[in-house]
Amino acid sequence: MPYLELSLRCSEAEQPRYERALEDVGALAVTMVDADADTVDERAILEPGVGETPLWNTLQLSALFAHDADALLLLAALEAFDPALDWTRAGFRNVEDQDWERAWMDRYTPMRFGARTWIVPWNSEMPAGADAEDAAVVRLDPGLAFGSGTHPTTSLCLQWLDALAQAGELKGRDVLDYGCGSGVLALAALKLGAAGALGIDNDPQALQASSDNARRNGVDARLLLRSPQQAPAGAWPVVVANILAAALDALAEDLAARVTPGGRLALSGILDGQQEALLRRYRPWFESLAVAHDGDWVRIDGVRRRD
């Protein structure tokens, strides 16, 4: 199905107001990238934390509307909702649904993380090694949600899950994926031997994409998907949260309570330089805290104290 796409540049400070206005007039999806990045890799879209805003100073904001939406009427509605914003920046174009899928398929190729974990686009042939008996292969179609393994924040988490599996600390255990996006981390955990997984995300589109990907991988019976407000209470032996540093700070007490004593936690979506504050924040509940780097990004992982 085709869509009408609205795009504009805005500052980080303006972004929440633009996004509220776009959602109020019926945007089906709102995405954002770094408007000042020079390469496709640098324009990666992060899986958002609960109540989070992007890290970038200037954003390229895009919103999808039904293909038969009237651009002039949309602009009039947007100006009425928040007349203080500059809607003259907005541009429109028609896009085909297949453009989203084709852009993803053309760019991403099968990737290996650690010893056994493979992320393979759903339409790609299985690469050498991914057909091994113990390979954990996730067939992925991100839809309109994000998290494919190519960004360092996701890659760091996939490597961590793979290492847990290699150490025998994942098989038969339940996993919580907080900020699940496309579901890639929960799916990888299940393919690596986890008994079940709970994926939490505040974006309904992400929950739908995770559900679709779980069915494609034949693990939908073992994956429960919920919004933060509907998520069940309890604690998990393995918890991974790939969101952003500010959200990890705000959610520290809640995330700590969701890890069983002796359980394992991984935090990602952290820029190099932000880890010290988060290490101090999580140290009261966790021991053996370690930091792993991938370019400008880091992962923190540790073990929940038993006392």
Q: Is 201 annotated as a binding residue?
A: yes
- What are the two backbone dihedrals, phi and then psi, of residue 213, each rounded to the nearest 5 degrees? -65, -35
- What are the two backbone dihedrals, phi and then psi, of residue 114, each rounded to the nearest 5 degrees? 70, -150
Q: Is 242 annotated as a binding residue?
A: yes
What does the alpha-carbon distance between residue 266 and residue 274 come to, in Å, rounded to a whole number? 15
Please, what is the angle between helix 184-191 and helix 204-216, to 10°?
Answer: 30
Q: Is 220 annotated as a binding residue?
A: no
| Residue (of 44, 278, 277, 76) closest to 148 by Cα position | 44
Element (H, E) at 42: none
What does the alpha-carbon distance between residue 210 and residue 253 come to, in Å, rounded to a whole number? 26
What does the alpha-carbon distance between residue 20 and residue 304 come to, in Å, rounded to a whole number? 38
Q: Is 123 annotated as a binding residue?
A: no
Collapse the DSSP code of 97 into the 3-class scheme (helix H, G, I; strand E, B; otherwise coil) and give the result: helix
Task: Please count the other Cβ atoms lying within 10 Å of the Cβ belonging to residue 208.
Answer: 16
Query: DSSP per residue over 135-163, as a string?
Result: -EEEEE--TTS---S-SHHHHHHHHHHHH
Task: Give every CB contact of residue 200 below 8 A, 6+ residues apart in sequence.
Answer: 176, 177, 178, 179, 180, 225, 226, 227, 228, 231
Taking phi over 0 as left and psi of -120 to 50 as alpha, with beta for the rest, 34 belongs to: beta
Output the known binding site. Answer: 154, 179, 201, 242
Output the known binding site for S-adenosyl-L-methionine. Answer: 154, 179, 201, 242
